[in-house]
Amino acid sequence: MTSYRQPGVVLTDRTFTVPLDHDRPDGESIELYAREAVASDKAGESLPWLLYLEGGPGFGARRFIGRQAWLGRALKEFRVLLLDQRGTGRSTPANRQTLPLRGGPREQADYLAHFRADAIVRDCETIRRRLTGGAPWTVLGQSFGGFCVTHYLCAAPEGLRTALITGGLPSIDAHADEVYRAAYPRIQRKVEAHYARYPQDADRARRIAEHLVARGPFTLADGYRLTVEAFQSLGILLGVDDGGHRLHYLLENAFVPTAQGPELSDAFLEEARGMLSYAGHPLYAVLHEAIYAQDDRPTGWAAERVRAEFPQFQAEQSLAAAAPFLFTGESVHPWLFDADPCLSPLRETAELLAQRTDWPRLYDAERLARNQVPVAAAVYHDDMYVDTAHSLATARQIRGLRTWVTDEFEHDGVRAGGPRVLDRLLGLARGEL
């Protein structure tokens, strides 16, 4: 272990070896990385543990500097473990460079089938027993991390002292089709709200889309193919606190005058490339719909299929009809594996995962109805990424769960309003509020 300091915090790098398949403990193993954080003035104390599970799938734990966001509040009473979930961050990586070591697409898909919430929770239990001496810990799950916490309540509630969820109460039984059928109207509301705030962006977005249809696709510096559909997917920004402002500033400088007429600027194309690339989180695309998969029904590119039910999102049709240009949101489509060079080698692997029919069930409604763990969840009103109605339906199925429903924050409220959000959830879970 290596320890080092940032302002007000002592950090320690930790690694753990766990089975790839927990049902085969003597088989292949992988390595997990986690960063321990403790307040400088409490470093020598025996403190309860708080485990943080990042959103995603496919993102490593957030890299804080000092006591940023919610971490400062947590460090007042906890020793915090920031886990890079399997395949992410400094844990054994899973990407276009490493997955060919597994073999072909079939072997890669079989490998990645072990990278969902069920395996992550079993990783957490393995780590907990080694780290806490068997004592239960508090777990904070953001977005997909909340999906993992919900599974934790079903699979290993004895490991939990308290469960805290922010923007991540999943539907217990909705198929991916239902998830996206609820999502597209919500995305449209977010786009319309953005145009109400920044009316000039409606024309700017349309001009860019028309340019891409007429002159595109544009091949960017790293080989990314910027199509009108890829441009639409920038709407994912509208689900986070500052995302609409970032999108506005991107759009306002899109064109420059040239000898051939207006062209998309190098600055716009480079910034868009950075926002669109999956280089740092490929599992987000490869496994995204798999996080909803249960039993024998394949996801089958649900976002793409369901989109056909909402023709207002068909870019070229809306442009031809002079209808508002609609961005899309948190959805993964087959074309993405042609557009992004970091994903294109994984296209066949993703296809096999989309057609897979042997997914284990993630949630146990009967066990949730008997829950004894104190649970509190922040549910963001009209959350772009996780359907509020689905979250509230699940909240009613978890015995003793207390919700805080708010429209003060977007999906990333634990980052934007972190100390207050965490404080509120702890108060609810402890019966202090």
pTM value?
0.97
pLDDT tens, position by position, 216-253? 899 998 899 999 999 999 999 999 999 999 999 999 99
Residue 262 shares a structural domain with residue 402: no
Contact 309, 123 (CB under 8 A): no
Structure tokens at 87: 């395949």
Residue 94 shares a structural domain with residue 240: no
pLDDT tens, position by position, 313-348? 999 999 999 899 999 999 999 999 999 999 999 999
- List 84, 91, 114, 143, catalytic entry: 143
pLDDT for residue 122 is more than 90? yes
DSSP secondary structure letters along 86-151: TBSTTSSB-STTTGGGG-SHHHHHHHHTT-SHHHHHHHHHHHHHHHSTT--EEEEEETHHHHHHHH
| Catalytic residue status for 358 | yes
- List 194, 211, 333, 411, catalytic entry: 411
- List 23, 26, 296, 358, catalytic entry: 358
Residue 189 shares a structural domain with residue 335: yes
| Catalytic residue status for 143 | yes
Q: Among 335, 354, 373, where does a domain finish?
A: 354
Residue 188 shares a structural domain with residue 307: yes
Q: Among 354, 383, 404, where does a domain finish?
A: 354
Q: What is the mean pLDDT of residues 124-133?
A: 97
Residue 407 shares a structural domain with residue 262: no
Q: What is the pLDDT of residue 130?
A: 96
Residue 379 shares a structural domain with residue 257: no
Rg of the chain over CA atoms, in angstroms? 22
Residues 6+ apart with CB under 8 A from 163: 138, 139, 141, 149, 152, 153, 373, 374, 375, 376, 429
pLDDT for residue 369 is more than 90? yes
pLDDT tens, position by position, 32-77? 999 999 999 999 999 999 999 999 999 999 999 999 999 999 999 9
pLDDT for residue 1 is more than 90? no
Residue 235 shares a structural domain with residue 334: yes
pLDDT for residue 187 is more than 90? yes
pLDDT for residue 418 is more than 90? no
pLDDT tens, position by position, 7-39? 999 999 999 999 999 999 999 999 999 999 999
Q: What is the pLDDT of residue 359?
A: 96
Residue 11 shares a structural domain with residue 62: yes
Residue 205 shares a structural domain with residue 244: yes
Neighbours of 104 (CB within 10 A): 12
Q: What is the pLDDT of residue 216?
A: 82
Which domain CATH number covers 418?
Answer: 3.40.50.1820
Residue 189 shares a structural domain with residue 91: no
Q: What is the domain extent for residue 51? A: 2-173+363-429
**What's the CA gap between 405 and 167, in Å, rounded?**
10
Q: What is the mean pLDDT of residues 391-408?
A: 97
Structure tokens at 114: 């072990």
Contact 159, 123 (CB under 8 A): no
| Catalytic residue status for 411 | yes
Residue 406 shares a structural domain with residue 394: yes
Residue 158 shares a structural domain with residue 203: no
Domain count of the fold of the chain: 2
pLDDT tens, position by position, 82-117? 999 999 999 999 999 999 999 999 999 999 999 999
Q: Among 290, 320, 354, where does a domain finish?
A: 354
